[in-house]
Chain A
Amino acid sequence: MAYEVDGKTITADEEGYIVNLADWSEPLATIIAKAEGLEMTSNHWEVVNFLREYYNEFQIAPAIRVLTKAIGKKLGPDKGNNKYLYDLFPYGPAKQACKIAGLPKPTGCI
C-alpha cells in the first residue's frame, strides 16, 4: 500500500508501515494516523516523538515499560501507565504508535 503526502507517493508494506524510514515527516504521520482512525493531538505527538528519539539511539522501539516510564516522568504518574497509552493508541501502543512514527513494526511474540 502507499500514502499520498503533498503529491508525493510514500510506499508502505501490506500493513501500512512505511518501507523507507527516511520518508517520514510530520504531515505523513498525520495521514497514517487518519488511516488508523486517529486524530493526532499533542498527547499523541509526545509518544510519537519519544519513540523516534529512542529509535534513533537504539534502532528499535522502546519496551512498553520504558515508554510508560518516560511518559510518566514527563507528564505525571497518572499518564505513565498502559491504560493511558491504549486510550491514545487503541490497537496497542507498540504497533500502532510505531506505524505512525514511521518505525518498523516490532515483531515476535508480542
Chain B
Amino acid sequence: MSEAIAPPVGDYVPVPRLREGAMRDVKSFKASANHQSALGFPETLVNDWRERAVQRLGELVEGSRALRVYLDSCVKCGACTDKCHYFLGTGDPRNMPVARQDLLRRVYRRYFTWAGRWLPWLVGATDLTEDVLDAWYTYYHQCSQCRRCSVFCPLGIDTAEISMAAREILDCVGVGQKYCNEIIGKVHKIGNNLGLPEPALRNTLDGLEEDVRDQTGVDVRFPLDVVGAEVLLITPSADFFAEPHIDGLIGYAKVFHQAGISWTLSSEASEAANFAMFIGSYAQMVKVAQRVRAAALALGVKRIVVGECGHAWRVAYAFWGTLIGPLDFLDPRYPRPQHICEVTEGLIARGALKLDPSANDDKIVTFHDSCNVARATRMGDRPGGQLAIPRAVIRSVCAHFVDMDPATIGDRTFCCGGGGGLLTDDLLALRVQGALPRMQALTAAVAEHQVTHMAAICAICKSQFSKVLPYYGLPRDMVVSVHQLVGDAIVLGAKE
C-alpha cells in the first residue's frame, strides 16, 4: 500500500507540475472470486477477456447514445485538464479527465470507428492489451465520478459515464474491485453496506432512544419496521454506525418527532446507498433499489424520505422512477422521494419546528456541497434548490454561516476525495491527495472567517473528511452532519 502523504496546502495552484506515472502503482484491491460470483460476474480474468471486453464495450455504446457521443466528441480543448481534484492533488497527467477518458476512447476508436480500424496510428486508436486493461483498472479507480470536469467541458462530456462503463467492462471480464463488489454483495445478503443484521440495528436504535431520553428527557422514537407509518426513511447504513453520521440520524428523528410525522426505518431496506451506480451495472442497480420498493409496499408508507447520502439522492431523485417505478402507491402530494433537507426546510418555513440557533453559537459553520447532490439532482421545486435548501436549513439553526471560495462550491464543488467507490483504505494515498483542493478552500475559510465546522450531507464525504482532515492539520471532528446542527437546535416538546 502506498504511504498517504498530504501535499503542502500552499496558495491556490491552478495547474500542478506534471508527475508522470505518480499514481501508477496506487491500486485498489481486486474483488475475490466470492465477491465476484455473488454479483454474477466471472470469478477471475476470463481467457477470452479481450473479445468479451470489446463485445461489452460495443453493447454499451449501442445501448447508450450518450456514451457514444462522449467517446466520439472530445476535441482536446484542454478545458477539463485542471478541473479534477485527483489531478490537482497528484499531478499525474493520467488523472486529467481527458486522459482518463482517452484510456477507453482509444480502444473504442480502434474497434468501433472506420478510421480507427484502418488508420489507427492517425487517430490515436490502440489495441486492447493487458497493459491497457491494467491502466483501466488503475485509473478508472482513481475517478470519483464527481462530474466536476463535465461542468467545464464545452461539449458536456461526462467522465463519470465513461468511468462507470469501464468498470462494468472490467467486472464482465472478471476484474472487479473488492470495495464495491463486497459491499453490493452484503446489500443482497443482509440489506445494507455494513452487513448490519436486524437485531444489531434494533439494538443500536434502542440505544439512541435511551441516549436522547437521557439528554433531553423527551421520548424521541427511532422506529423500525412499523407497518402503517406515514414516512419510510431510507438512509445510509453509516448513519447507524459511524461518527458524525449518527448525530445526523438523531437530528432526523427529532425533526419527525417534533413535526408529529409518523415514520419508520426498514430492516429490509436499511441502506440508501446504491454502489451499483459506481460500478456502472444497471442490473445490480435495479436489484439493490428493489429492496426499497418492496419495503415501502410491505410497510404501506405514503412517503419516502432519503437521509444524508450524496449518490443515494442521485439514484433516488434521478433513477428510482426507472429502476423501481412507478411509485404510484405514494401519497399524490408527495409522489416522488423527498430529501430530508427539503422536509426539514419545509417544516421550518411553516413554523412547525421551534428552533434555538444559540445552541450552535459555539460554531462558525461552512458547507461542503456533495458532488452528486450539487451536480446531479435538485431538491424542492426551485432550480438550484439542492444548493439553497441545505444552506437555508443551516442558516435557520446557526447564527454563523459562511461559504467557502465560490469557485469551490455549488455546481463547481470539489469532491471530498473519497466518492465513487474509492472510500477504501487501500486508496488512502489517493484520497489524501485528492482532498487537496477542498482542504485549500477550507483552510482559507478557517484563516479568513475562523470557520470551526464544515457540515456535509453525504456519508462518504463525512467519513472521508474524518479520515483526511488530520493529514492537513485540521481536527477530525470538524466535519458534522447538517442534521446534527438541526438536532442540537430543535427545542423539543415546545409545541403548543
Residues of chain A touching chain B, judged by Cβ–Cβ distance below 8 Å, are 14-15, 58-60, 62-66, 69, 82, 86, 92, 94-95, 104, 106-110
Are B238 and A65 in touch, CB under 8 angstroms?
Answer: no
Are A59 and B200 in touch, CB under 8 angstroms?
Answer: yes
Are A108 and B197 in touch, CB under 8 angstroms?
Answer: no
Are B195 and A107 in touch, CB under 8 angstroms?
Answer: yes
B134-142, B241-249, B354-362: which lies at the interface: B241-249
Q: Bound state CA distance, A109 and B275, in angstroms?
A: 10
Are A109 and B197 in touch, CB under 8 angstroms?
Answer: no
Are B242 and A64 in touch, CB under 8 angstroms?
Answer: yes
Are A109 and B423 in touch, CB under 8 angstroms?
Answer: yes
- What are 26 A-B contacts defined by CB distance under 8 Å? A15-B425, A58-B197, A58-B200, A60-B194, A60-B195, A60-B197, A63-B207, A63-B246, A64-B246, A65-B204, A65-B208, A65-B211, A65-B243, A66-B203, A66-B207, A82-B243, A94-B242, A107-B179, A107-B183, A108-B193, A109-B242, A109-B423, A109-B459, A109-B460, A110-B238, A110-B245
Q: Distance in Å from the Cβ of A109 to the closest Cβ of chain B?
A: 4
Are A58 and B192 in touch, CB under 8 angstroms?
Answer: no
Contacts of B84 in A (CB 8 A): none
A-B contact count (CB 8 A): 88
Contacts of A110 in B (CB 8 A): 194, 238, 241-242, 245, 459, 463
Contacts of A86 in B (CB 8 A): 476
Are B204 and A63 in touch, CB under 8 angstroms?
Answer: yes
Known contacts A63-B240, A63-B246, A65-B246; is-contact A82 B477 (Cβ 8 Å) = yes
Contacts of B183 in A (CB 8 A): 107-108
Contacts of B186 in A (CB 8 A): 107-108
Are A66 and B204 in touch, CB under 8 angstroms?
Answer: yes
Are A106 and B426 in touch, CB under 8 angstroms?
Answer: no
Are A14 and B246 in touch, CB under 8 angstroms?
Answer: no
Known contacts A63-B246, A65-B211, A82-B243; is-contact A109 B309 (Cβ 8 Å) = yes
Q: Distance in Å from the Cβ of B349 to the closest Cβ of chain A?
A: 30
Are A63 and B467 in touch, CB under 8 angstroms?
Answer: no
Contacts of B240 in A (CB 8 A): 63
CB-CB nearest in chain A for B187 = A108
CB-CB nearest in chain B for A14 = B29
Q: Bound state CA distance, A96 and B240, in angstroms?
A: 19
Most buried by B among A82, A94, A95, A110: A110
Residues of chain B touching chain A, judged by Cβ–Cβ distance below 8 Å, are 29, 179, 182-183, 186, 192-197, 199-200, 203-204, 207-208, 211, 236-238, 240-243, 245-246, 273, 309, 423, 425-426, 459-460, 462-463, 467, 476-477
Are B243 and A109 in touch, CB under 8 angstroms?
Answer: no
Contacts of B207 in A (CB 8 A): 63, 65-66, 69
Q: Bound state CA distance, A104 and B194, in angstroms?
A: 11
Q: Bound state CA distance, A64 and B247, in angstroms?
A: 12
Q: Distance in Å from the Cβ of B176 to the closest Cβ of chain A?
A: 14
Q: A58-B203, A107-B179, A109-B463 are in contact. List 4 more A-B contacts (CB 8 A).
A: A64-B241, A107-B194, A108-B273, A109-B236
Most buried by A among B197, B238, B243, B246: B243
The secondary structure that dominates the B interface is helix
Most buried by A among B199, B237, B241, B462: B241
Q: Bound state CA distance, A95 and B424, in angstroms?
A: 11
CB-CB nearest in chain B for A85 = B243
Are A69 and B211 in touch, CB under 8 angstroms?
Answer: yes
Closest 6 CB pairs of A and B: A108-B193, A109-B459, A58-B200, A109-B238, A110-B242, A108-B194
Contacts of B197 in A (CB 8 A): 58-60
Contacts of B463 in A (CB 8 A): 109-110
Contacts of B243 in A (CB 8 A): 64-65, 82
Q: Distance in Å from the Cβ of A84 to the closest Cβ of chain B?
A: 13
Contacts of B204 in A (CB 8 A): 62-63, 65-66
Q: Bound state CA distance, A86 and B463, in angstroms?
A: 15
Contacts of B238 in A (CB 8 A): 108-110
Q: Distance in Å from the Cβ of A66 to the closest Cβ of chain B?
A: 6
Are B199 and A58 in touch, CB under 8 angstroms?
Answer: yes
Q: Distance in Å from the Cβ of A87 to the closest Cβ of chain B?
A: 12
CB-CB nearest in chain A for B202 = A58
Q: Bound state CA distance, A64 and B241, in angstroms?
A: 6
Most buried by B among A58, A63, A94: A63
Q: Distance in Å from the Cβ of B209 to the closest Cβ of chain A?
A: 12
CB-CB nearest in chain B for A95 = B425
Q: Bound state CA distance, A66 and B208, in angstroms?
A: 9
Q: Distance in Å from the Cβ of B250 to the closest Cβ of chain A?
A: 9
Q: Bound state CA distance, A69 and B243, in angstroms?
A: 13
Q: Bound state CA distance, A77 and B150, in angstroms?
A: 49
Known contacts A69-B207, A69-B211; is-contact A108 B246 (Cβ 8 Å) = no
Contacts of A64 in B (CB 8 A): 241-243, 246
Q: Distance in Å from the Cβ of B148 to the closest Cβ of chain A?
A: 20
> Which one of A59, A62, A69, A109 contacts B193 once the chains associate, using CB atoms below 8 Å?
A109
Q: Bound state CA distance, A110 and B425, in angstroms?
A: 10
Q: Distance in Å from the Cβ of B245 to the closest Cβ of chain A?
A: 8
Q: Bound state CA distance, A74 and B25, in angstroms?
A: 45
Most buried by B among A15, A60, A106, A107: A107
Q: Bound state CA distance, A106 and B246, in angstroms?
A: 16
Q: Bound state CA distance, A82 and B476, in angstroms?
A: 10
Are B237 and A108 in touch, CB under 8 angstroms?
Answer: yes
Are B194 and A15 in touch, CB under 8 angstroms?
Answer: no
